[in-house]
Amino acid sequence: MSPQKRATVIASVVATILTLVKFAIGVASGSVAVLASAIDSLLDTVISIFNFFAIKKSEERATEQFQYGKGKVQAIAAVIEGTIITLSGLYIIYEAISKAIHGRETELLTPAIVVMIFSIGVTFLLVEFLLGVAAKTDNLVIKSDALHYKTDLLSNGVILFSLLVVYLTGWDIVDAIFGFGIGVYIIYSAYEIIQEGVFILLDHAIDAQVVQKIAKMIDEHPRVNSYHWLKTRTDGTHNFVEFHLVLEPEMTLQEAHDISDQIEEKIKALDSKKVWVITPHYDPYDDEEINNGAWR
């Protein structure tokens, strides 16, 4: 089992445990903040299970039907995950407003506080684990999962604070106010996940600084007269790069191939965690202007 898939299994188990504990206390205490956290943990469980199968699919080798692999499954998973997080945030806001309007009281504060302290400790360990896997693999799904649990860590801290305030003051409206704030923050945090996934699905270019480095590597090669039509995209795991090299007309195919190999090796060294798919094209003269309309 790959580190990515192992990470999603561990995240699923942890989220399931937290869901059961939080739901029991959330329903018994009537705390909208704890109930919101329980719902969020339930969604964490579903998402982590979904991510397991998304990663499994993305790791499959290219086939005749999917000749570039299924790396974009990760982006689809990220968009779905972000959408689910957004919906959970909206539900939390609804519950917070409902509690504020009806003035429901919060009970069993001490058990609720203990549960949130337990949740913070477990979630912190999980975040550190996921960040470690994300750093080693640079996997979009794991990065999304780590970001999600990071927001959980912050929201759990806010929930704990609100419960302590209610415990000390008896002001139940505080629980509703903090619950509303958590809902807004969760929706905000989902935006980045959705944006990154959508960008990948739309073949967004890789980071501009990396593209500049690639351009510089090509331009500085002593045997390359010029280049054009440098294009890049990523599916989260693979970086795709295309470019046209303008070389001397009398150059042999072997020489041209050796030049592109040298450039490709430098490009691949920019990020060894990614799989680079580099496609050079050789031109005996600069035909950028002539074929500009056809390329566009």
Q: Residue by residue, what is the 3-state secondary structure of 162-185?
A: HHHHHHHHCCCHHHHHHHHHHHHH
Domain check: are 163 and 219 in the same one? Answer: no
Per-position b or e across 152-171, b if 16+ CB within 10 A of its CB: bbbbbbbbbebbeebeeeee
Domain check: are 161 and 273 in the same one? Answer: no
pLDDT at 296 exceeding the cut of 60 = no
Domain that holds residue 74: 3-201
pLDDT, position 261: 94
State how many domains the chain has. Answer: 2
Domain check: are 48 and 175 in the same one? Answer: yes
CATH of residue 67: 1.20.1510.10
Report yes or no: 252 and 215 within 8 Å, Cβ to Cβ: no
Q: How confident is the model at residue 72 (pLDDT cuts 50, 70, 90)?
A: confident
Domain check: are 92 and 139 in the same one? Answer: yes
Report the percentage of the chain scoring pLDDT > 90.
Answer: 22
Domain check: are 160 and 246 in the same one? Answer: no
